[in-house]
Amino acid sequence: MLLVILVLMIGGAIFSLEARDLLSAVVAYGIVGFGLVICFLILQAPDLALVQIVVETITLIIMVAVILNSTRKELGVKWASKTVAYIVGSFVFLILFMYFFEKVTSVLSVFGEHLLRMSEAYIEPGAKDTGSANLVTGVIFDYRGYDTLGEATVLFTAVMGVLTVMRLKGRKEE
């Protein structure tokens, strides 16, 4: 089940990158995000599915707004003289990357067999330490509070960046 949805997501990603029209590229990008929602539901993460389904919708709305305000045309493909060298180079990179990925994942256990040893420290005393029945919320706001504070700061900075970039004229001129 998980494999089928992952293959569908890869297909959607490839089509989204190769589409000739930017609007259809954005719609195909939606396949990846909504497929991820189903993956989260299968992997027993309902909190993440709840966030991802709304976030994906808002992302699609913003992307469609941007594209309808500018252009829908995709640029033509130009074959440079060094294309063969690029293809060979990327294949070498791909083989190296696969080799090291195999090395790394052989350290991890087989998928779905064991948890990391660290998880016992969060699962067993989690409810008693934090008093929260939802362990994810307990981890976010109690064990890992500094992390959440940092993420909130990053969110604030990103929003300030959007406002600074999008403003056409300064506030004092009005």
Residues 46-85 within binding reach of another protein (CB under 8 A): 46-48, 50-52, 54-55, 57-59, 61-63, 65-67, 69-71, 74-75
Q: Among residue numbers 101 through 140, which ones bind another protein (CB under 8 A)?
A: 101, 105, 108, 110-116, 118-119, 122-123, 126-127, 130-140
Number of C-beta neighbours around residue 26 at 10 A: 19
Least distance from C-beta 157 to another protein, angstroms? Answer: 9
The minimum distance between CB 77 and another protein, in angstroms, equals: 9
- Shortest separation between residue 35's beta carbon and another protein, angstroms: 9
57 close to 38: Cβ distance less than 8 angstroms: no
> With respect to another protein, which residue has the nearer C-beta, 2 or 84?
2
Q: Take residue 123 and report the two structure tokens written for it.
A: 């699962």
26 near another protein, rule: CB under 8 A: yes
Do residues 28 and 19 lie in contact, with contact meaning Cβ atoms separated by under 8 Å? yes
Size of the site for another protein (CB under 8 A): 97
Residue 21, strand partner residues: 73
Whole-angstrom distance, CA of residue 137 vs CA of residue 135: 5
Write down the least CB distance from residue 170 to another protein, Å.
13
Tell the smallest beta-carbon distance from residue 147 to another protein (Å). Answer: 7
Among 21, 84, 91, 147, binds another protein (CB under 8 A): 147
Cα separation, 12 vs 19, whole angstroms: 10
Would you count residue 96 as binding another protein (CB under 8 A)?
no
In whole angstroms, give the CA distance from residue 101 to residue 83: 27
What are the C-alpha distances in Å from 141 to residues 30, 65, 127? 31, 35, 13
Does position 38 interact with another protein (CB under 8 A)? The reply is no
Candidates 85, 88, 96, 152; binder of another protein (CB under 8 A) is 152
Q: What is the DSSP letter of 171?
A: G
